[in-house]
Amino acid sequence: MFRTKATRTLIVIFLLMLSSGITLYVMTKETPESRLAKNLGKIVPLTPEQQKLVDSRLDELSGDSDNDGLKDWEELIYKTDPKNPDTDGDGTNDGDEIKQERNPLIIGPKDSLSNPIADEKALQDASTSNTFTKQFGETLLSSDVFVGLMQNGTPSLSQGDTEALANQLAEDGKKFLAVNEDELFASIRIAPKDTHTEAYSMIKYLNGLGKIQNEYFMVAPEDDPASIITEATKSKDVKRFAELKKSISIFGAALAEVKALSVPRPLLDVHKKELLLLASMEKQLTAIMDAEKDPLGASTAIAGYIALRKEGALLHKKILEIIQQNHLVFLSGDAGSFFTETSL
């Protein structure tokens, strides 16, 4: 098992560049593990949640299924078959070919690794994959800082370089998981002015919003997405994220109903924030559920989802303040009382 901080960070970089279709071939005598672990140990700091997520992939990939001398994660690097010790069928197993600086995908003996490997399948996969892992991997591979680090080692990496890479990761993550607000807000319907008072229109809207909250989000603790995420990261079992599928459907259905509400102008800002919150949570949970094919996207989304939960609590606190400031009164049984009775 890999347990050091450097090797836990290694799997992040490894997954960045490899598991989403980017082909990397090691041209030096150092192993991918030793070189990357030595040089990249401080680039991507891991939160406890992210560490557990990638640890689970490490546990799966740290074995040697076909006993060819390459660990399963190294098989991903070289695009070899983890269940076939001699992928190209030339009589030399994959691990020995790598030791001899030969290409394990081309029949030898004229298969030196000094010649670029044309892995058409990998290239095709790379062109069609749209994961954050792949996108940031491409950014990293084209970074002068990263190239300098690989050539010159840790001394070439300044504090500013480290911060720049970390900031790049954070900003790219936000962009990847961002919701298109123009599309989201295009269907907003403003409640028409009629004979009713503004207070009446606000109460009507909040009753509709409260009904949606009661119908979709008053779930048992074990069905709460936060509980599922916590248990999955604790157990380091990314397959448990599949349990989020139901929650994703719930957020999608709730979002559709909120979109259908007519909103009075005094509550337009609240309405937009509610739409954005629901759409963002749906997108974050979808990214988390896809942890196996997009580990970096999932780990970024976990942090994002936690932040969105806090934003949701603040939004509903704001709604309560609006209710109090406008002296809005809900009758017994009104769904809008959700905001005055529920502590989020």
Query: How do residues 186-207 score in pLDDT, each as one tens digit?
Result: 999 998 876 678 899 999 999 9
Whether 63 has a pLDDT exceeding 60, the answer reads yes
Whether 229 has a pLDDT exceeding 50, the answer reads yes
Question: Which of 150, 176, 202 is the last residue before a domain boundary?
Answer: 176
| Stretch 68-86: mean pLDDT | 79
**Which residues does 163 contact at the CB level (< 8 Å), separation at least 6?**
none
**Same domain flag for 185 and 305:** yes
Residue 64 confidence class, pLDDT cut points 50, 70, 90:
confident
Q: Tokens 């007519």 sit at which residue?
A: 262
**In whole angstroms, how far apart are CA 171 and each of 178, 300, 316?**
10, 11, 27
What is the phi/psi pair of residue 281, to 5°? -65, -40
**Same domain flag for 207 and 326:** yes
222: tokens are 């074990």
Average model confidence (pLDDT) across the chain: 76
Distance of CA 214 to the CA centre of its chain: 28
Question: Which of 176, 206, 229 is the last residue before a domain boundary?
Answer: 176
**Same domain flag for 164 and 216:** no
91: left (phi over 0), alpha (psi -120 to 50) or beta: left
**Same domain flag for 169 and 270:** no
Hey, which of 87-91, 116-120, 158-162, 339-343 has the most confident mean pLDDT?
Answer: 87-91
Domains: count for the chain: 2
**Same domain flag for 102 and 240:** no
**Same domain flag for 303 and 220:** yes
How close are the terminal C-alpha atoms of the chain, in Å?
Answer: 40
Question: Which of 176, 207, 239 is the last residue before a domain boundary?
Answer: 176
Q: Are 202 and 266 in contact (CB under 8 A)?
A: yes
| Stretch 268-273: mean pLDDT | 97
- Specify the range with the lowest mean pLDDT, choosing from 23-37, 105-119, 259-273: 23-37
- Can you tell me the distance from the alpha carbon of 246 to that of 266, in angstroms, rounded to the nearest whole number? 33
**What local confidence, expressed as pLDDT, does residue 35 receive?**
41
22: tokens are 């980017």
Whether 211 has a pLDDT exceeding 90, the answer reads yes
**Which residues does 167 contact at the CB level (< 8 Å), separation at least 6?**
none
- Can you tell me the distance from the alpha carbon of 278 to that of 20, in angstroms, rounded to the nearest whole number? 28
**What local confidence, expressed as pLDDT, does residue 319 receive?**
96
Q: Are 34 and 154 in contact (CB under 8 A)?
A: no
Distance of CA 137 to the CA centre of its chain: 14
**What local confidence, expressed as pLDDT, does residue 2 receive?**
37
Whether 237 has a pLDDT exceeding 90, the answer reads no
Per-residue pLDDT tens digits for 83-101: 899 988 888 888 888 888 7
**In whole angstroms, how far apart are CA 244 and each of 184, 248, 286, 297?**
23, 6, 8, 15
Cβ count within 10 A of residue 226 = 12
Whether 149 has a pLDDT exceeding 80, the answer reads no
Per-residue pLDDT tens digits for 32-44: 333 443 444 444 4
Cβ count within 10 A of residue 247 = 24
What is the phi/psi pair of residue 250, to 5°? -65, -45
**Same domain flag for 14 and 101:** yes
> In this predicted model, which residue has the larger pLDDT, 171 or 52?
171
Hey, which of 8-22, 130-144, 146-160 has the most confident mean pLDDT?
Answer: 130-144
**Same domain flag for 196 and 147:** no
Give the chain's length: 344
Q: What is the dihedral of CA 286, 54, 45, 175, to 10 degrees?
A: -20
**What local confidence, expressed as pLDDT, does residue 60 receive?**
61
Domain hosting 156: range is 5-176
Q: Are 235 and 289 in contact (CB under 8 A)?
A: no
> In this predicted model, which residue has the larger pLDDT, 178 or 31?
178
| Stretch 112-118: mean pLDDT | 51
Whether 308 has a pLDDT exceeding 50, the answer reads yes
**Same domain flag for 164 and 87:** yes
> In this predicted model, which residue has the larger pLDDT, 115 or 203?
203
Q: Where are the beta strands (DSSP E) in 94-134?
A: none
**Same domain flag for 314 and 235:** yes
Q: What is the dihedral of CA 64, 66, 69, 73, to 10 degrees?
A: -40
pTM value? 0.65
**Same domain flag for 44 and 130:** yes
**Same domain flag for 147 and 233:** no
Q: Tokens 């993550």 sit at which residue?
A: 173
246: tokens are 């139901």
